């Protein structure tokens, strides 16, 4: 697989790192994690916590795999809380504290590229994680084919609209953060399907910080613009923005919700699917993605090559063809929650089927 970043997204950035033994940094700089007793240090820098996957999935999967591969490694962990300046400070602090590898998932494209340049000056390799970093000397890229995510979402929406007898219906688009290069990829992928589908995009918004609250406000604007009874579907770029769209429609008295897309298979998103409030999500296999980043970090720490077969593509980031790991993803609707979510161990039925969602789970036979 060869993944090429578009010209509009060349400044994107994402880096991921793995470590064994965690040292949290909730402030502007990384905590001390010096290479005690000859051990090496990995810095894992994630962009935000509004998207639930980072703290609940990426971080623990990465940490556990690094610990298994590199018991002597130290981990510097930081979450930037969607603050690009804070993430730059965290990168600088990680370098100062002796990080030997950076795994970076960027908040902002341009800021991340400058952080990569700073790391390379210090001869520290960088793994771009989840989100791409354009025009930067990154060593590896670990992600999904982000444009394909948008394609999967849009195609699911188009197919559902046809099934409902509305192949030329009216939709609203709630895209992701304009600061996030990956959000631009999702958007391009979605438009490649929607623009030739016959559906009418009557309102479209980019959602700062991927904030569900801002997505809710955008959906309220779409309802006012299009009309309550005239919205036949909603393209939402992830489960958080889908949640915002659902909240807006409920507040505006929608008796029946139209098909709504999502991404990340967040617990709340899966629960909405079970309850019939959200049509689908894209389940990106986060565990193999996080573990692949840990394997790459471990190989870089030890001065060797990654395991044979791990690298399965390249990413043209405007500076070079970056060796890349692209991991699996699948579109999930209600009938696939058991097979793709529960049986895969991503969420347990007992986690999904709480309170108001128990009836939907029973109907689907989740166990």
**Whole-structure pTM value:** 0.81
Question: What are the tokens at 229?
Answer: 């009874």
Q: How many CB atoms lie within 10 A of CB 301?
A: 23
Least confident of 18-32, 151-165, 223-237: 18-32
pLDDT, one tens digit per residue, over 27-52 is 443 333 433 345 899 999 999 998 89
Annotate 268-322 with DSSP letters as a single string: HHHHHHHHTS---EEEE-HHHHHHHHHHHHHHHHHTSPPPTTS--EEEE-SS-EE
Q: Phi and psi of 114, rounded to 5°?
A: -70, -35
Predicted confidence (pLDDT) at residue 140 exceeds the cutoff of 50: yes
Residue 348 has a pLDDT of: 97
- The percent of residues above 90 in pLDDT, for the chain, comes to 87
Identify the band that residue 5 occupies on the pLDDT scale cut at 50, 70 and 90: very low
Closest CA to 172 of 60, 258, 93: 258
Q: Residue 300 and residue 304: Cα distance in Å, rounded?
A: 6
Average pLDDT over residues 104-119: 94
Q: Residue 81 and residue 216: Cα distance in Å, rounded?
A: 20
Question: What are the tokens at 31?
Answer: 């905590």
Predicted confidence (pLDDT) at residue 163 exceeds the cutoff of 60: yes
pLDDT, one tens digit per residue, over 173-212 is 999 999 898 999 999 999 999 999 999 999 999 999 999 9
Q: What are 236's strand-pairing partners?
A: 174
Domains, the chain, ordered by start? 2-145+285-327 (3.40.50.2300), 146-283+330-364 (3.40.50.2300)
Helix residue ranges, H only, the chain: 53, 59-69, 84-96, 109-121, 146-163, 181-194, 212-226, 239-251, 267-275, 286-302, 349-352, 358-364
Identify the band that residue 110 occupies on the pLDDT scale cut at 50, 70 and 90: confident
Q: Are 19 and 73 in contact, with CB atoms under 8 Å apart?
A: yes
Q: Are 88 and 115 in contact, with CB atoms under 8 Å apart?
A: yes
Q: How many CB atoms lie within 10 A of CB 152?
A: 25
Scored b (16 or more CB within 10 A) or e, 168-190 reads ebbbbbbbbbebbbbbbbbbbbb
């Amino acid at each position: 697989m060869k993944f090429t970043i578009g010209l509009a997204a060349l400044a994107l950035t994402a880096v991921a790192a793995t470590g064994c033994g965690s040292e949290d940094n909730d402030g502007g700089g990384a905590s001390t994690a010096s290479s005690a007793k000859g051990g090496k240090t990995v810095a894992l820098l994630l962009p935000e916590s509004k998207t639930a996957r980072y703290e609940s999935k990426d971080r623990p999967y990465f940490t556990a795999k690094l610990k298994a591969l590199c018991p002597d490694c130290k981990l510097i962990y930081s979450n930037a809380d969607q603050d690009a300046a804070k993430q730059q400070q965290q990168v600088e602090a990680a370098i100062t504290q002796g990080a030997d590898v950076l795994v970076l998932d960027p908040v902002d494209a341009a800021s991340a590229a400058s952080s990569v340049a700073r790391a390379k000056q210090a001869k520290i390799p960088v793994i771009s994680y989840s989100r791409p970093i354009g025009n930067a000397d990154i060593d590896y890229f670990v992600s999904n084919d982000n444009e394909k995510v948008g394609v999967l979402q849009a195609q699911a929406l188009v197919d559902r609209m046809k099934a409902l007898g509305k192949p030329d219906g009216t939709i609203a688009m709630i895209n992701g953060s304009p600061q996030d290069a990956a959000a631009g990829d999702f958007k391009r992928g979605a438009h490649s399907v929607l623009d030739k589908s016959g559906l009418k995009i009557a309102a479209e918004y980019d959602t700062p910080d991927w904030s569900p609250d801002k997505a809710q406000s955008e959906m309220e604007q779409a309802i006012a613009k299009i009309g309550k009874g005239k919205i036949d579907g909603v393209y939402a770029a992830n489960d958080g923005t889908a949640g915002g769209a659902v909240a807006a429609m409920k507040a505006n008295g929608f008796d029946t919700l139209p098909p709504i897309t999502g991404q990340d298979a967040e617990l709340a998103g899966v629960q909405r699917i079970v309850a019939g409030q959200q049509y689908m999500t894209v389940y990106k296999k986060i565990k193999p993605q996080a573990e692949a980043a840990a394997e790459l970090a471990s190989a870089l720490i030890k001065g060797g090559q990654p395991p044979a077969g791990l690298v399965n593509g390249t990413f043209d980031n405007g500076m070079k063809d970056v060796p890349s790991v692209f991991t699996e993803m699948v579109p999930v609707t209600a009938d696939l929650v058991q097979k793709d979510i529960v049986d895969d161990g991503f969420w347990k039925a007992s986690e999904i089927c709480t309170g108001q969602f128990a009836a939907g789970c029973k109907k689907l036979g989740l166990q």
